Structure formats: structure tokens, C-alpha cells
Homo-oligomer: A and B are copies of this chain.
């Protein structure tokens, strides 16, 4: 009879993966990339997916990711929004204790948390507590955020596709505004970082195309100056397309939107999306402060992170590869971490991935660097366009009649 080997505890352990924070168009690519890679790794046993992030861990609400067919996983990968469900919840000390009990009971040795900097923080807390408790856990954060605001990363999975949606949307808005002139204000997601708002600049095809003005959270927003800027563009072109980040804040750092919206989540974040209040406020100010009668505002809302079929190919591919890379790193490295996307200094766009310490990514926000913003603080630079263009991919070809 063949002798049964005793189980090698740290070498053959179960894996748990979860999704957290705001969904994105490619967050399931990372999930599927991780699952496919985990299936190749001999030391990983069961592959569990927790539903709705740490809430699913606390409730032991798991989906068996080994039993999914390849076809199902491929379709899920191409489907926007977190297939496992997500949550906006910061674990308390009591939550963490309970999480360990669940991890122990399910012999989980590999934990992956896909999300933004709040999620990296959660992963970091679990990592530190596991260490303190002497529990052998490989704990990895897999980056995801349409805001593109994770430190250590050249850019993050989810940004390219959301940026593509925003650029396409502003292309359309600009064409609409050119056909039926007036002032149009688009409000774009991005609590503290302006990358997604800035990506609207890629919508420009002709020299007089909008967006004519771009306002980012990285520069203090002054209402009077904003109205003056709009008035000046309108005087010059007879129309004006403005794109504004939902996170614009005054010189004291108070978000313009917080004057109107009060809801706060457990990370202390005020609700900025899912309301048209900021756009309507700005439109009202333009109407009151100029002689323009046709002023409209559109808030892109959840469409920019969930719209199916407007994808950046580069973004989808990288999201998949980052998920796989995290699993490989967890199986081969002796350190926990987060995966960062770096860019090679080559002429043609090329990215590579690296493990970075969790604490370097957790909580803190990566902002737009100064070289991406113009001096007046109401537009972006060519350096930003060069940075963002390969992440978004070729945009639809638009035409005009010859005059």
C-alpha cells in the first residue's frame, strides 16, 4: 500500500479571494486571472470566493471557485462590476478576531483582496494581525481603482476602461454642444485624484474641441474664477465644454459637493456620486454669473465604472495579469504585499509588475503630479496626454464637414 504523506501545512493551504470597494469594468479580470493561476499552483487547495468582501468572510458566505467552468470564468471576466459582490466596510478589531477564526477553520493560507487604497488598508490590518497571532497567512492586495490614485503604481487596473468611457462621453458631449451651443458641464468621479477627470482631454480631435476647461481636486477650486473662465471661453468660441471632478475642493480643502451632501461611509468618505447636485450647483452659478442661457450639466455617475462594452484592451489584459501575478508571488515569495504596475521607459508603451509592501499602498492617495496640470490649474498638459493615451487605447474616429 502507498503510504499517505502527512499534510505539509504551509505548502498546501486553501485560498480565499474577495473584492472590495467600488466596482470597475475589469475587476473580474483580476479575479479570473487569480483563479486560473491558483488552479495551476499545486500548493493551493480549495479556492474560495467570499461574497461582498470581508462581510462574506465574517458570514462564511463562500463560492467555490474551483468548480466554475472555464467558459463561465471567461464570461465573468468580460462582465463589469464585482462578480463576488463588494462592500464598503473597514473591519473593527472584533471583526479581525472573527476573520482569523474563519480563516483558521477553513485552513486558509492565501488571502487576496482586490480593491483600492481602503482595501489595501484592510489587507494590511489583516496581514499585521495574522503576524501578531502567529498565523501563517500569505496576504496580498490586488490593485483596482478607476480613480488611479494608488501609490507605487504607474496606473491601476480599472482606470484605463473608465478613462475610455469618460473620453468617449466627452467626445459625444462636445459634439452635442457644438451642434447646439451653450455651456455644458460634465461631472466625473474621483474623490481626491483627478486622473479620470483629466482623461476627458483625450476627447479632443480638432483645435476648438472641448473639454475647454478641466477642474481637478489637486487644485483649489474658486467659484468666481470658474465662472470667469467659462465666460471667457464662451466669448471666444460661442460655446464651452467643462469637465469637473466630483472631488473639487476650495482652498481650505472642503469639497464643494460636501456643502450639499452629508452621507458618510465607514472609511469617513462623503457620498459624492449618485447625485446631480454638484453639476446643478455649477450650472446655476454659470447661469447667474454670465449671460449664457443654455447651461446644462451631466453627472456620469455609475456608468463610468460599470458600462459594459466600452473597454480598454490594455486595461483588461493588465487587470488579468495583475491577478495572476499576485497568486504567483504569494506562492513563491515569503513576504506579503500589493502588486504594482510599473511602466518601462521605452518609446512604445510597455508595463511590468512588482510586489510592493502593503503599507506603501494602504490608505494614502496618489495625486496628479504637477507636471500633468497646467499653470492656471484649469487644464492638463501634453505630458498627461502622453501618459494616459496608451492606457485608454485608440478612440473612435470622428469627422467634420469641410467648410
Q: Is the Cβ of A305 less than 8 Å from the Cβ of B72?
A: no
Compute how far the CA of A239 lies from the CA of B397 in the bound complex, rounded to whole angstroms: 39
Residue from the list B87, B180, B299, B308 in contact with A299, Cβ < 8 A: B299
A208 at the interface (CB under 8 A from B): no
Compute how far the CA of A386 lies from the CA of B403 in the bound complex, rounded to whole angstroms: 43
Q: Is the Cβ of A307 less than 8 Å from the Cβ of B180?
A: no
Most chain B CB atoms below 10 A, which of A303, A310, A397: A303
Residue from the list B68, B75, B179, B398 in contact with A397, Cβ < 8 A: B75
CB contacts under 8 Å to B, within A75-109, are 75-76, 78-88
Compute how far the CA of A280 lies from the CA of B402 in the bound complex, rounded to whole angstroms: 42
Q: How many residues of A contact B (CB 8 A)?
A: 69
A112 at the interface (CB under 8 A from B): no
A275 at the interface (CB under 8 A from B): yes
A337 at the interface (CB under 8 A from B): no
Contacts A275-B296, A300-B303, A307-B172 given; indicate if A85 touches B178 (C-beta within 8 A).
yes
Closest chain B residue to A76, Cβ basis: B399
CB contacts under 8 Å to B, within A41-74, are 49, 52, 63, 65, 67-69, 72, 74
- Residues in chain A within 8 A of chain B (CB atoms): 19, 22-23, 49, 52, 63, 65, 67-69, 72, 74-76, 78-88, 168-169, 171-173, 175-176, 178-180, 184, 263, 273-277, 279-280, 283, 293, 295-303, 305-310, 396-403
